[in-house]
Amino acid sequence: MAFMCVRDFECTLCQQHFKMMYGDLIFLEELLCDECLKELWPLEDGELRERVSQKLARNTSWLEERYRWHGEPELAEQIVQQIKEGRRRRPNIVEVLQSRETGF
């Protein structure tokens, strides 16, 4: 049985530590802090991809160590798709942030 509780994470894009309600059997590779989500949520495709790529490029050494990432575009695309899917399910960023606090 999976249990929801507040867990500590590190943002894939900015390495900021943050807490989020999360299940113990749920594994997402790309976890984004609230600040990165707020910044990226309103951006459209081209600008979204560019901003994600810029953020990844700033943290290359951490990403190489943590994800074995060496600049491959797939990680940026996964993050972009994650944001686009999140917007499809919940277009309002306030709802997204509330759901991260409560787990629903």
Domain boundaries, the chain: 4-102
Residue 39 has pLDDT above 60, yes or no: yes
Q: Are 56 and 63 in contact (CB under 8 A)?
A: yes
Query: Does 55 score more than 50 pLDDT?
Result: yes
Separation CA 14–CA 89 (nearest Å): 24
Are 95 and 48 in contact by the 8 Å Cβ rule? The answer is: no
Check pLDDT > 60 for residue 1: no
Whether pTM > 0.85 for this model: the answer is no
DSSP H helices, 41-92, are: 45-58, 60-67, 73-89
pLDDT of residue 45: 92
Cα 26–28–32 angle (5° rounding)? Answer: 125
